[in-house]
Chain A
Amino acid sequence: MAVITVDGRDVQIGDDEKLNCIQAADRAGVTIPFYCWHPGLSVVASCRMCLIETGQKNKDTGKVEMVPKLVPGCQTPVKDGTVIITNSPKVKANQQFVQEGILLDHPVDCPICDQAGECWLQDYYFNFGHKERQADIKPFTSDRKELGEHVTLFADRCVMCSRCVRFTREVSGEAELQVINRGSHAAIDIFPGFPIDNHLSGNVNDLCPVGALCSSDFLYQQRVWFMEPHDSVCVKCSTGCSVQLHENHDKLYRIQPRFNPNANEWWMCDKGRFENQYIDAPERIGGVKRRGRDQFENCDWPAAITEIQRCLQDLVTHQGGKTIAAVVSPFLTVEEAYLLCKYFKGLSPEATLVLGKIPVDGQDEVFAKGFTIRAEKCPNRRGVEEVLRHFQADFMTWDQFLAQADAKRWKGAYITGLYPETWNDEADANRIDNISLKIVQDFSPSPIARKATFVLPGVTFAEKGGCYVNHAGLIQATDWALKPFEAAHIDGQIFSDLAGRRGLYQPTAIMPEVAAEIPFFARSASGVPDGGLNLVTGSEKSPRTSQLGTVTHPIPTFRTVASDMLEVES
């Protein structure tokens, strides 16, 4: 056990932990301000904000020998006996003058800057700056430049921390960004004609501690303090990045990655971040529809539920359980898949369970430090498969289901869609046309929905809570962020109503039931922790570590931030 002294207070750190002074100080509850350091990037020690005094305690004599000059805390590893001083006049004066130096070139256009409210420069200035600023303020004009589809640069706001440059070199690997010119003329730029267009480009906007890099998609949409964050999981591929959904008045404004050492670390891809227009697409299905003589009629929920229950029951009694099937979409949560399967197997043990279509697009895209965008474009194939396997060892695939439809096996089918992208075409719809009872649960109209007997409006991932299991068997819980669209119901609620369960559907109440019944989920019996839980290996690393560099603030301001956010995994 190594003992470090921070401002006179002793903290213990594990022997195998490799911490720098910023992290060690944070263990003692002391904040060392910093800009250029990021736990996911290389250390350059260029901003000089983290300069501190440090020394070494002699074990035998107990005497402390201090280094005569200030040293960068981000670059100085701690070992047993290290002494860190962060509150001496020398350290404080340095912090104040570093800030003042940055502000000489900074426009202080906070009123029009999108970063205001979550800006490190703003927060640090209040906590570590001079009382009054000495340079002039030149607000309301900005040096705006598009660097790529999703990235807008406001060059005058930059503090030259070079985090963005290092990200494109070390993580996304395409090195589009660079520092041009030198000294006080230094600026971030791209090479003419080569925009930043890698598939992780959105991350540089999060990395930028100030408002120099702003998301083009989010620019001027909302002031950040109006939005409410909700923890969720991205559903665009089977990596299952932990994300935060930022919403105001039930409109989703932006998605940012949430640090999770088990899944995505600090990053997420642009597809997951920006391609979510389907959530408030005007053509979404808003109400329950049932087929009348030759067109759809509106219908209310209780009537639809009773009628579907009756029709399915009739089919089972008159035609046998073999003729009905439930298609379980890989976009359903574990709890929802469980409820649907349980309902169908309850109708008849012979009912068939089908794994919905698995959308696959190209090859896995692996980046330099291991971040992967998977080809499998759904969040919960693994979880749904395990649920299906429990109820029916030889569940069918979507293609087998269609083949059986061609053979006129089905009389009734419950098809769940909920895919963000188009997932069926006229040909598929024609193949299932001979099924007499077609219940389609989806949020966007598709050829199959148009042929349905009943159309039930379901919801997107942002509107529901539940658990998803990613490609590696990591189960993660999400929280709902938006209210369901128009008359849509949460999918779990629909299944729970169909199954005749009373009251509101609560995923957290269903999960223990799933865990008790299906051995694969046994580990999640007492809930799913923040960073998820690997159902296969049982390992769980807490994300309350090295959280810095994404959404979280470096220092608590108007929002309280857990102070153990700086720790790094051993």
Chain B
Amino acid sequence: MQANDPNIQWVEEPQLGWTGRMYLTPIIDGLTITLNHFFKAAKGDTFTVQFPEERPKFGNPLIYRGVHRLNKDDEGRVKCVACFMCATACPAHCIDIVGTQSPWEDREKYPQSFVIDELRCIFCGMCEEACPVDAIELTSMFDLTGASREEMIFDKEKLLSVYDQTIAAEPMKSKGGHAAGKGA
């Protein structure tokens, strides 16, 4: 974009009056905000949450980008077809997949192993965008802790177990996509 682009609106900084130059009005303005918050908090209207006793509320958990899960299809098999689109899209290179011929009649390829290094992940959600079968999704689970680095490397079983834990509260984001093995 050029500096003389007609879409740019140039705004001049307003000149301060003499009260401003004496710091009087700015200080009063600032204190008003502080005091407003003070009285609001005294009435119990706070933003801060007493985590972990209290859990924060999300506006829409479906668009939160937390821990990944691997979705299952109607028969409880991993939905992933091992196309490597997520691994290709991932800017942090934290997804490692080993694809192989699937043991099922109606599916050609599936991930023999599917590993995400949650410590390396930057939770950008690119993998979710890239997936052609909506097999990988980010859940609203955000409080991820572990005692070691190894524990934070999630394998296929762990990612599928995140699905079991979260599916009740967070349904799959799209029913569409192509249910693997079902055709369009």
Contacts and interface: CB of A to CB of B under 8 A. Distances in A.
A41 B101 CA distance: 33
Given A139-B132, A140-B133, A140-B181, A111 B106 contact: no
B82 A112 contact: yes
Interface stretch (B35-43, B83-91, B144-152): B83-91
A137 B108 contact: no
Nearest to B105: A141
Nearest to B79: A140
Interface in B151-184: 178, 180-181, 183-184
A141 B107 contact: yes
Contacts, number: 51
Contacts of B106: 141
B108 A144 contact: yes
A64 interface: no
- Say whether chain B's binding surface is mostly helix, strand, loop, or mixed: loop
A141 B88 contact: no
A103 to B, nearest CB: 14
Contact of A141 (B84, B132, B133, B181): B181
A220 B133 contact: no
A422 B93 CA distance: 40
A136 interface: yes
Interface string B51-88: 00000000000000000000000000000011111001
A477 to B, nearest CB: 33
A139 B177 CA distance: 11
| Most chain B C-beta atoms within 10 Å of own C-beta, residue among A139, A142, A223, A225 | A139
Nearest to B183: A138
Contact of B99 (A136, A141, A220): A220
A112 B109 contact: yes
A3 B132 CA distance: 49
B100 interface: yes
A111 B81 contact: yes
Contact of B83 (A111, A141, A219): A111
B109 A137 contact: no
Interface string A93-123: 0000000000000000111100000000000
Contacts of B84: 223, 226
Interface string A51-76: 00000000000000000000000000
Interface in A189-240: 219-220, 223, 225-226
Contact of B180 (A110, A140, A144, A220): A140
Nearest to B131: A111
B179 to A, nearest CB: 9
A393 B84 CA distance: 58
A219 B99 CA distance: 9
Contacts of B100: 220
Interface in A123-175: 136-142, 144
Nearest to B180: A140
A225 B100 CA distance: 18
A141 B101 CA distance: 11
B108 to A, nearest CB: 4
Given A137-B178, A220-B99, A223-B84, A109 B184 contact: no
B39 to A, nearest CB: 57
A140 B82 CA distance: 10
Contact of A109 (B82, B101, B108): B108
Contact of B101 (A111, A219, A225): A219
B181 A220 contact: no
Nearest to A143: B108
B180 to A, nearest CB: 5
Nearest to B106: A141
B88 A142 contact: no
Sort A-B residue pairs by CB-CB distance and give the 9 closest, nearest first.
A111-B83, A112-B109, A142-B108, A223-B84, A220-B99, A138-B183, A111-B132, A140-B180, A112-B81
Interface of B: 81-85, 88, 99-101, 106-109, 132-133, 178, 180-181, 183-184
5 contacts: A109-B108, A111-B132, A140-B108, A144-B101, A144-B108
Given A112-B83, A138-B184, A220-B99, 7 more contacts: A136-B184, A140-B81, A140-B108, A140-B109, A220-B101, A225-B88, A226-B84
